[in-house]
Amino acid sequence: MADTCGQVLLGSGLTVLSHPLMYIKVLVQVGHEPLPPTLGRNMFGRQVYQLPGLFAYAKHIIKIDGKLGLFKGLTPRLCAGTIGTLVHSKVLQKCQEEKIEMVRSGQKAEDGSLQHVVNETTKEMIARSCATIVTHPLHVITLRCMVQFIGREAKYSGVFDSIVTIYREEGILGFFAGLIPRLLGDALSLWICNMLAHFINTYTIDDSTSHTGEIKNCSQAVTGFFASMLTYPFVLVSNLMAVNNCGLAGGLPPYAAIYPNWLHCWGHLSREGNMSRGNSLFFRKLPAGKMYAIEQKRFF
């Protein structure tokens, strides 16, 4: 219990610190570009048109809403993080009890073996998926609170009011908008990370060398970063579907087409070359073949 409380407190602190970053990323993912591109130089010294980065975007939000404006949607996100940690911990505990039963029956896989990695990854995937499903309604509310910045709406003002609004307008399914690509992205990212790390640690790292533990931790971090890059399109599609056609300017044309399902959203983004939109908030390049519309504050 103490470990779980510690995880909740640590997670809440990191959530507060990282919230402005997520807020800006979501607005960029939706396609909101309130500041026009400027002429600058790339790393090779060539003059190119660049889009405002993280700090310029943050200054723009502060100018309009003040410093507290960077924390829109924080309350439902904190609630989601707390509940998600508790659910994740409880499911892992249940899996651990089943593992103890398997050990008693002599079915335990050898530590470090491929079967052991598969078993542990499966348990982690189940725990994460359960936490994601339970907290997704709060995730949807968080995103919609953020996207209100675009149209200056106040439709989603609190957790309970937002729950009533979504249920009244969209029913139960509205709370799970964008859930499928989010689950798929999380599962793929976890499996890619763990399997790559296992093969690297098994076939490229000599256990007899010093600092083996540190090297393995480093390989886990690198493969995690690589996996998150590969599965980023799932995150983008999930976030767009969570706000799609919800009555907010950020979920309607011209920012987004009205997608019947997440596959149509994926196909549209792919055709437009926008599958990595919002992936980087630094050194943002002007999209090729796009024109900036000052009135709509987006690219066409």
**173-205, pLDDT tens digit by residue?**
999 999 999 999 999 999 999 999 888 887 776
Contacts of 46 (CB under 8 A, 6+ apart): none
Q: Which of 170, 193, 192 is closest to 248 using CA atoms?
A: 170
Q: Are 58 and 70 contacting, i.e. CB atoms less than 8 angstroms apart?
A: yes
pLDDT of amino acid 256: 83
Q: What percent of the chain has pLDDT over 90?
A: 58
Q: Would the pLDDT of 291 be above 90?
A: no
Apex 13 CA angle, 11 and 15, nearest 5 = 70
Q: Which residues pair with 284 in a beta bridge?
A: 51
pLDDT of amino acid 101: 64
Q: Supply the pTM of this predicted model.
A: 0.91
φ, ψ for residue 40 (rounded to 5)?
-140, -165
Tokens of 185: 């992205």
Q: Which of 266, 263, 240, 267 is closest to 253 using CA atoms?
A: 240
Q: Are 60 and 52 contacting, i.e. CB atoms less than 8 angstroms apart?
A: yes
pLDDT band at 97 (very low <50, low <70, confident <90, very high): confident
**Tell me: the pLDDT tens digits for 106-147?**
556 566 678 888 989 999 999 999 999 999 999 999 999 999
Q: Which residue ranges form the domains of the chain, and what is each CATH number?
A: 2-299 (1.50.40.10)
Q: Would the pLDDT of 210 be above 80?
A: no
